[in-house]
Amino acid sequence: SKSLGMAGVAVSSYIDGPYDFIRSFYPDGNETHDQTVYQSANGTAYLARTYYSTVDYILPAPVMQPLWESVKNPDGTNNYGLSYHRAVYEPEYDDYHDIYLQRWRTEDKPWEVKCVNKLDGTERVVPFGTTNFDGEVCHDPTEYKIVNGQGQQGEDLLGVQTRFLDPNNANNSWWMPSSVPSVKAQPWSKNYRDGTCGIRKLDNDMHSLDPDLDTREIGGRETCSNIVDNAVHPTPPDKLIGVDTIVEQRRAKFVAISKLTEDYLDTSGILKSFEGEMEDEQDLISLMAMGSDGKNFGWDSGWDLASTYKPQKFTEFTMADDWDTRFHQYEVNYNDRAFYSLACTLDGSCPVDFKSQVTY
């Protein structure tokens, strides 16, 4: 039935037999159901045969690039201030002591003024805007005043509020980018300290009553931390940088010409192959009927060791070394890609802000 597709080797002292069977094998590893042998004028013998081979076409798997998203509040609404701060960096949002004058005057605390009787120690709370007949808050000389807070902002009189966006505030760090599967984000509080200056104390080691607050330096962390961890960026098409993947296969028929060994009992490994077949799908044995020894077709094995297996077809796209970690802000533990980490200093696996990693 020729279902095995093997070649048989048999020898005889006479062309018409009898033959002694030596062995069967797959010529150069391929099945073949159409084969013949012929000899050139110089005595070199060849095995010509057809076989089928599948050619693989390879492309790296696509990796989705991040989409930019605005920072959200826990209720799902946009946090515009934090979106800007984490996208551009605003020094005023990064100043822990921005209302130091108001703190000195307790204007950052809710309104609470008490008058204490000097004789019996009784206290009374003075509502905001209330004075006595002398226009004073407390009665002099029988009372003295205690000021716990002078907040005068809004109907609730809570006081002046800082614009400092504290990364330790859970509401500021709960949201993390998650637009595509390739993104692996860490909380903003971790990115805030993802650098040599980001690990400083939020107050820069300055007490709230420090007299030098007026001359303090404001901002600067954008150059030595990953505080801008959600920079605005475009969203180009997916990158073909993932694992090499077979995207197409094409099965075709080939002709192989193999040089035989000097005893004619095996192929030598020297061969030439090309895609095609005989006209009208004739068998290769028809070459003999035409009285051809292969020369009429320019068929020989050449002189190179070769294989009948066709190499995979690649393109200019190649798998990237960091295809699976390019958009990771950490790998195992938070901050393990910080500027001061061994991964960054030795391997170049440094903080990710997505904008710097997006490519075209």
- Predicted confidence band of residue 291 (pLDDT cuts 50, 70, 90): low
Look at residue 290 in the predicted model and tell me its pLDDT. Answer: 62
- Predicted confidence band of residue 185 (pLDDT cuts 50, 70, 90): very high
Q: Does 167 have pLDDT greater than 90?
A: yes
- Of the listed ranges 9-18, 219-228, 341-350, the least confidently predicted one is 219-228
Lookup result for tokens 């989409």:
67
Check if the beta carbon of residue 63 is closer than 8 Å to that of residue 238. Answer: yes
Average pLDDT, integer, range 114-132: 93
206, 213, 107: which is closest to 153 by C-alpha? 107
Q: Does 2 have pLDDT greater than 90?
A: no
| Cβ-based neighbour number of residue 15 at 10 Å | 6
Average pLDDT, integer, range 111-115: 93
135 phi-psi bin (left φ>0, alpha ψ -120 to 50, beta other): left
Look at residue 289 in the predicted model and tell me its pLDDT. Answer: 63
- Of the listed ranges 72-86, 193-207, 234-248, the least confidently predicted one is 193-207
Look at residue 260 in the predicted model and tell me its pLDDT. Answer: 94
- Predicted confidence band of residue 286 (pLDDT cuts 50, 70, 90): confident
Average pLDDT, integer, range 304-327: 94
Q: Does 207 have pLDDT greater than 70?
A: yes
- Predicted confidence band of residue 3 (pLDDT cuts 50, 70, 90): confident
Look at residue 28 in the predicted model and tell me its pLDDT. Answer: 87
Q: Does 29 have pLDDT greater than 90?
A: no
- Predicted confidence band of residue 149 (pLDDT cuts 50, 70, 90): very high
Check if the beta carbon of residue 205 is closer than 8 Å to that of residue 100. Answer: no
Look at residue 299 in the predicted model and tell me its pLDDT. Answer: 78
Q: What is the 3-state secondary structure (H, E, C) of the chain?
A: CCCCCCEEEEECCCCCCCCEEEEEECHHHCCCCEEEEEECCCCCEEEEEEEEEEEEEEEEEEECCCCCCCCECCCCCECHHHHHHHHCCCHHHHCCCCCHHHHHCCCCCCCEEEEEECCCCCEEEECCCCCCCCCCCCCCCCEEEEEEECCCCCCCCCCCCCCCCCCCCHHHHCCCCCCCCCCECCCHHHHHCCCCCCCCCCCCCCCCCCHHHHHCCCCCHHHCCCCCCCCCCCCCCCEEEEEEEEEEEEEEEEEEEEEECCCCCCEEEEEEEEECCCHHHCCCCHHHHCCCCCHHHCCCCCCCECCCCCCCECCCCCCCCCCCCCCECCCCCCCCCCCCCHHHHHHCCCCCCCCCCCCC
| Cβ-based neighbour number of residue 199 at 10 Å | 15
Q: Does 153 have pLDDT greater than 70?
A: no
Q: Does 295 have pLDDT greater than 60?
A: no
Look at residue 142 in the predicted model and tell me its pLDDT. Answer: 94
- Of the listed ranges 131-135, 186-190, 289-293, the least confidently predicted one is 289-293
Average pLDDT, integer, range 295-315: 84
